[in-house]
Amino acid sequence: MLRTRLDCFSGAEARADAAASMEIGEAKPIRSSEVGSAATPHCLYEVFSTPYTDEEVARGVRAKQSICKGVVVEVAHCIRIPKQEYSVLEHYLYVGRNGCMLMALGVGSLFNHSKQPNLYFAIDHDHLVIRYEAARNIAAHEELTICYGSESKLWFEDRSVNTLQNSSSMVHEYMDDETSFLAGLQLDNGNE
Ligand SMILES: C[S@@+](CC[C@H](N)C(=O)[O-])C[C@H]1O[C@@H](n2cnc3c(N)ncnc32)[C@H](O)[C@@H]1O
């Protein structure tokens, strides 16, 4: 399907694309009851190498095309990691209920941080699923970011660049202070 640069990818298009791919036998529908509160979305992103983080292999996730505000960009299924075994992965884990750690599969653990993120995320604790949604219209090739929490609690120097206006209020509106931070932040709070 041809799109102009200004067109945004919407949920309806995602469903149409999924239906089209089913016709050629590439995809099967996933009922929402199978995955908790959200079905797996059409893939709107790609992983890229980024120079601004310090990992041995430094990656980020970016939009393959423009994405409309409100579109579910990713639904990451998670593996629960016992408290005593998470240390090697600590900068990649989300904090679940009762302090348990969640390893997000797919690209859920590869989103970099921004204090002006273009994705909200919400943890469905009952189904061990994290759902990521566009917080605003996102341009093609823009990096997809989430907010790990307040700057004072980050364990690295924040090198992200972002142009989102009015973002600070959005960050907290969608984050559950007890459960949504990545593990590093909770360690920073002295909860080791
Ligand atoms: C959940 S991982 C994100 C994926 C990571 N970039 C990779 O390639 O594996 C979190 C790590 O990415 C790096 N990172 C994430 N956001 C960053 C930012 N805004 N500035 C600098 N480093 C960042 C930090 O080293 C952090 O420990």
- Which structural domains are found in the chain, ordered by start? 11-30+38-188 (2.170.270.10)
Stated length of the chain: 192
* pLDDT average, residue stretch 28-41: 48
- Residue 131 Cα to ligand 1 middle (Å): 19
pLDDT of residue 11: 53
Q: Give the whole-angstrom CA distance, residue 103 versus residue 183.
A: 10
Pocket of ligand 1 (CB under 6 A): 52-55, 57-60, 91-92, 109-110, 112-114, 156, 158-160
Task: Give 174 or 126, the one with higher predicted confidence.
Answer: 126
Amino acid at 134: A
Q: Could you give the CA distance from residue 42 to residue 94 in angstroms, rounded to a whole number?
A: 23
Question: What is the rounded average pLDDT of the residues 33-53?
Answer: 73
Beta strands at 129-134 and 59-63: parallel, antiparallel or unpaired: unpaired
Complex ipTM more than 0.85, yes or no: yes
Distance CA 82, CA 84 (A): 6
Nearest ligand 1 atom to alpha carbon 113: 16
Higher pLDDT, 188 or 15: 15
Burial of 23 (0-12, 13-18, 19+ CB in 10 A): exposed
Q: How far is the CA of 14 from the centre of ligand 1 (A)?
A: 29
CB 115 within 8 A of CB 172: no
Q: What is the mean pLDDT of residues 158-179?
A: 46
The protein residue whose alpha carbon is closest to atom 18 in ligand 1 is: 158
Report pLDDT for 116.
92
Instruction: Locate the ligand 1 atom nearest the alpha carbon of residue 58 and give its number.
Output: 8
**Average pLDDT rounded to a whole number, residues 66-90:** 90
Q: How many CA atoms does the CB half-sphere of 11 hold within 13 Å?
A: 10
Predicted confidence band at 187 (pLDDT cuts at 50, 70, 90)?
Answer: very low
pLDDT at 146: 96
